[in-house]
Structure formats: C-alpha cells, structure tokens
Amino acid sequence: MALIEFRGVGKAFEGGVTALEDVDLEIGAGEVHAVIGHSGAGKSTLVRLINALERPTSGAVVVDGVDLTALSERDLREVRKGIGMVFQQFNLLRSRTVFENVAYPLRVARWGRAERERRVTELLHFVGIAEHAWRYPGRLSGGQKQRVGIARALAANPKVLLADEATSALDPETTGEVLRLLKRVNTELGVTIVVITHEMEVVRAIADRVSVLEAGRLVEHGDVRTVFTDPRREVTRRFVATALHDRPAADDLARIRARHPGRLVTARVRDDVRIGPALTAAATGHGVAFEIVHGGIKDVGGAAVGSLTLELTGPDDSVDRAIAALRATTPVEDLG
Ligand SMILES: Nc1ncnc2c1ncn2[C@@H]1O[C@H](COP(=O)(O)OP(=O)(O)OP(=O)(O)O)[C@@H](O)[C@H]1O
C-alpha cells in the first residue's frame, strides 16, 4: 500500500507561478524514493506538500491513509510528528550541543528526561557520533553535522524521513558515507525515505524507485534499474548519463575518432545480457576486429548497468553483419 500518495496534485503560487501540475505519485511503505529534477522543477514544493507546509491548489495529498487537504492545522501538527526532515544546510542549533540538538524535538514533544536521554544516546550511537555528544555544531565537519541532523530527524520515531538535498553541501566521499547511513535508516529501522536531489549519482547509490520532475510535471517514474537501463525522456537520459559517465561526450568522441578510424558503436551492457559471444562471433565469423574505446558500468539496484563504445574494423558489409548480430542481444547505437 502507498504510504504517501499524490492524486492529481497542482500547486500554483500567487503571482502566477505553477510549481506543480497534475502530479500523480505513489510512494510505498519501506521504500527509498528519489525525486530528481533541475533547479526550479518543483522538488521543494513537492516535499513541502508531504509535510503540509504548503497546501495543494488542486488534487489531494494522502499520507498514511489520511488526506492532508481535509485536516485542520492542529491535526496537521500530529501528522508532522510522523515525518522527519533532513536539510541541505543541516539547520542545527548553533548554541546547543550535539546531544541537545537531538534531544530538542523530544523536549518539544514533552518526553520525560530519562526517556529522552536513553533515546538520544541510542541515536547518537546509531549514526556514529556518540563521541562528539558534547561538542557544538561549529566544531563538526559537514558529514558529522548531517549525522546529527539525521539523528534529530529520527528522534521521535517517524515513519517517513524527507531528505531535501541532504548531501548537496558535502564532498563526494562524505556524500557516500551519509547515503550509506540513510540506507541503514531504511533497511534497519524500516523508515520510508523520500530523497530530493538534482544528482543522479545520489539516486543510483540509494534509491529503490525514482520520479523525474520537469517544469512541475512528473515526466517519468519507475524502479531505479529500469529507469537507468531504459530512460524514456530526454531529461532522464541526460540525468542517467551524468551518473554512469558511460557514453562519450562530444569532445571525448572527437578524441576517440582521431585515434580510431573504424566504425564506432555504443552497446548497452547489463548483467543479464551477454555481449561477449556476439563479439567473439563478429571476430571469428565475420573477420571483424574490435577494440573497446570508451565505457562505464556501474551497480544500479544490485545489477550492472552501463554501456561500452567499440571500434569495429573490417570490410563494410562484415561490420554491418557484426552490428546486426550484436543488435540481436542488446540495443546498439551506430556512431558511424
Ligand atoms: N512561495 C513561493 N511563491 C512563489 N513562487 C514560488 C514559491 N515557492 C516556489 N516558487 C516557484 O515555484 C517553482 C518551483 O520551485 P521549487 O523550489 O519547488 O523548485 P526546486 O525544484 O526545489 O528548485 P531548487 O532545486 O532550485 O530548490 C519555481 O519557479 C519557484 O520560483
């Protein structure tokens, strides 16, 4: 069953900006769902609709079976207690220690002192920052600050965690650490996570499913492996290319051509597709020599996904036959 559901949601702001238009979206309990889009696509608006900081101008947002559009401000406060949030700029209280930052939402929720201390200690261990409990945020690295942000967001046992560009302020290595922590939050604590990002690498590393937003519309969605192997829309193809780095960009291609005068083709690679036998047959049966000149293969949702660009050398009709044989196993783009 969907834990979060958008039914024909539109959001227009005063002044005429339409931030979202006719969005249908289902996020299942227990999944990591990424929403990717360029700046201004409507990602933050979508998040703010899930925790009801904004109300839709049309359609309905349903969280855990409750239609948020029908609720009073007081009831919305209850719903928000079940939703944790992590921010790009961490949003920690600078004059409070790590421990106090994590304890803060529990104070607001009027948890007793002993209960609070037990919960905060447990969380600081979970996120791996217990030894810094009495430091102030100013003395922490970006990655450590985000661990505190995650612990704070989890304090009151939310069902849902919203991560809005949670790793955008971090370097690549720290990004990896924080994404692995978020994955543990999902698998070990069973928290449903909605990740908002403009980086496809984040989607690849952590998400089960992905939705692509373009100019306020949800243009593509599906499980991450399918979207990576078979992107339908141009915007999605470009996002996928930024994560896989598998296809030669225009300047790469010019350099490759200068060194490799044969026919260039890009063959899609997946671990359930065998291109080796087709290449061997091309070499032995058609007398075509091949060379790997570019490529990238990455793990996406537990599967190998990417492409290889090959130079095929031999008589034209033999090369044509070799390409046809390769096409029988996997999609092939003829670069000429
Ligand atoms: N409160 C507001 N009033 C008017 N327009 C708004 C408001 N909030 C957002 N918008 C507009 O709605 C559109 C979508 O904005 P939103 O912040 O949701 O996009 P985004 O994908 O999160 O972008 P970014 O990655 O830059 O934050 C933009 O054109 C933005 O200017």
Q: DSSP strand E in 183-246: where?
A: 192-197, 209-214, 217-223
Q: What is the ipTM of this complex?
A: 0.95
Report which ligand 1 atom has the smallest distance to the Cα of 48: 18
Is residue 167 one of the residues assigned to a domain?
Answer: no
Is residue 172 one of the residues assigned to a domain?
Answer: no
Is residue 162 one of the residues assigned to a domain?
Answer: no
Is residue 199 one of the residues assigned to a domain?
Answer: yes
Same domain, 90 and 152: yes
Burial class (CB in 10 A: 0-12, 13-18, 19+), 266: buried
Q: Which of 244, 265, 295 is the last residue of a domain?
A: 244
* Nearest CA, atom 10, ligand 1: 19
Same domain, 74 and 221: yes
* Nearest CA, atom 13, ligand 1: 19
Q: What mean pLDDT do residues 69-78 have?
A: 89
Over residues 195-238, the pLDDT tens digits come to: 999 999 999 999 999 999 999 999 999 999 999 988 999 999 99
* Nearest CA, atom 3, ligand 1: 13
Q: Which of 225, 244, 263 is the last residue of a domain?
A: 244
Is residue 104 one of the residues assigned to a domain?
Answer: yes
Is residue 174 one of the residues assigned to a domain?
Answer: no
- Collect all residues with Cβ–Cβ distance below 8 Å to 197 and sequence separation of at least 6: 34, 35, 36, 43, 165, 167, 168, 203
**Contact 17 CB / ligand 1 (< 6 Å):** yes
Mean per-residue pLDDT of the chain? 93
Same domain, 125 and 249: no
Residue 279 clears pLDDT 90, i.e. is over it = no
pLDDT band at 310 (very low <50, low <70, confident <90, very high): very high
pLDDT band at 333 (very low <50, low <70, confident <90, very high): very high
Supply the pLDDT for residue 183: 97
Residue 286 clears pLDDT 80, i.e. is over it = no
**Contact 37 CB / ligand 1 (< 6 Å):** yes
Ligand 1 binding pocket mutation candidate from 6, 9, 14, 17 (most atoms within 8 A of CB): 17
How far, rounded to the nearest angstrom, does the alpha carbon of residue 85 sit from its chain's CA centroid? 16
For residue 311, report the distance from its CA to the centre of ligand 1, in Å.
Answer: 45
CATH number, residue 326: 3.30.70.260
Supply the pLDDT for residue 271: 81
For residue 250, report the distance from its CA to the centre of ligand 1, in Å.
Answer: 32
Q: DSSP strand E in the chain: where?
A: 2-12, 18-28, 32-36, 58-63, 66-67, 83-87, 160-164, 192-197, 209-214, 217-223, 263-270, 289-300, 303-313, 332-334
CA distance 211 to 191: 19
Is residue 212 one of the residues assigned to a domain?
Answer: yes
Distances (CA, A) of 108 to 100, 112, 142, 325: 12, 11, 26, 66
**Domains: count for the chain:** 3
Same domain, 268 and 239: no
Over residues 90-149, the pLDDT tens digits come to: 999 999 999 999 999 999 999 999 999 999 999 999 999 999 999 999 999 999 999 999
Same domain, 74 and 98: no
How far, rounded to the nearest angstrom, does the alpha carbon of residue 16 sit from its chain's CA centroid? 30
Residue 59 clears pLDDT 80, i.e. is over it = yes
For residue 124, report the distance from its CA to the centre of ligand 1, in Å.
Answer: 34
Q: DSSP strand E in 167-279: where?
A: 192-197, 209-214, 217-223, 263-270
Give the residue numbers spanning the domain of 150. Answer: 85-157
Supply the pLDDT for residue 186: 98
Report which ligand 1 atom has the smallest distance to the Cα of 196: 22
Same domain, 78 and 93: no
Residue with tokens 């209960």: 115
